[in-house]
Copies of this chain bind each other. A is one copy, B any other.
Amino acid sequence: MNFTLRQLSCFVALIETRHFGRAAEKVHITQPALSMQIRALETALGQQLVERGPRAVVPTRAGRALAVRAAHILAEAQELAADARHRAPHAALQLGVIPTVAPYLLPPLLPRLAAQAHARDLRLREARTATLLGELADGQLDAAVIASAPTEGGFVAKPLFEDRFLLAGSAARLAHLGQARDALRPRGLDPDELLLLDEGHCLADQALEVCGLMRSSARLDLGAASLATLCGLVAGGAGLTFLPEIALAAETAAAPGLTCLRFSAPEPSRTLYLLRRAASAADDWFDPLAAALAATGDVLLATTRARIA
């Protein structure tokens, strides 16, 4: 490709005016300059594009064909430039969210964001922490919500809110805990009763950590891929699990048999963060997005805290 947009501009102007002088005026150059541009374009394409008569300038067959396509290309280029000038990014804000947060935080988030101009065009992706960090790093995502501060550098992490863990199970199974109910502590739980999510879900790792367990030491071959599935199993009496407060309202509504107990202080918890690349220009969307996420979480937690003493 050996021609330029300017050459196309000149050519289109020439076809429109059918006059070298006026076409030149139209593109703000002199007539000889336009002549040279047209000539260069003809050379580049290897075809004569206009018949230069003393009476008139007439496009050749090739010129007629080119005029249409050139105008089209120029229109696209103009539109691109115009969009750039008006700062209409035309690219959605790509937000990644981990699976143990997305189903609970996003539904109430979206109506809140609808009011904000910056988040008018938001695209969501749900994946586990490692995947999100990778995609964030290489530009597929603009921001990500994860449940821990990132270990690697290069990111800006803004804490959103603390999400405490509750112990969830069927009412019968929770009753079997006996006197432990009065001062419920993670370390006192029976590893064989514990059901957790698949590997890679940070929620499972964090649950193991607060229990002082290794993944290998627990009966964890359960391939539960979503918290909703896990809650369904647990509500049916299959075992116990850690439920983040953020999920409580949705999961108890979905599985009425699900019962939760609050751990005694200091309650185990995770902190959610909103991340972006440190190098990214967070013009004006990052802080408002973080604020909206935090506010959404706070509302969600306020209703939950009132339900489970």
Contact = CB atoms under 8 A, between A and B. Distances in A.
Interface stretch (A87-95, A231-239, A255-263): A87-95
A31 interface: no
A182 interface: no
A73 B1 CA distance: 12
A2 interface: yes
Interface string A140-178: 001000000000001000000000000000000000000
Copies of this chain assembled into the complex: 2
A218 B240 CA distance: 109
Interface residues of A, number: 52
Contacts of A78: 1
A285 B30 CA distance: 36
Contacts of A137: 55-56, 58
Given A47-B87, A51-B279, A138 B56 contact: yes
Contact of A46 (B73, B84, B138): B84
A122 to B, nearest CB: 12
**Contact residues of A: prevailing secondary structure:** mixed
A35 to B, nearest CB: 17
A142 to B, nearest CB: 6
Contacts of A1: 5, 9, 74, 77-78, 81
B87 A77 contact: no
Contacts of A210: none
A80 B89 contact: no
Interface in A273-309: 277, 279-281
A5 B280 CA distance: 26
Interface string A83-104: 0110101110100000000000
Contact of A62 (B5, B46, B84, B277): B84
A28 interface: no
A60 interface: yes
Interface string A38-63: 00000011111001110110111110
A85 B46 CA distance: 7
Contact of A154 (B53, B61, B89): B53
A1 B66 CA distance: 20
A91 B72 contact: no
Contacts of A277: 51, 53, 58
A18 B48 CA distance: 39
A80 B73 contact: yes
Contact of A58 (B64, B65, B66, B279): B279
Contacts of A9: 1
A6 B93 CA distance: 28
Given A3-B5, A44-B81, 8 more contacts: A1-B74, A47-B87, A52-B279, A58-B139, A59-B139, A60-B139, A65-B89, A65-B91
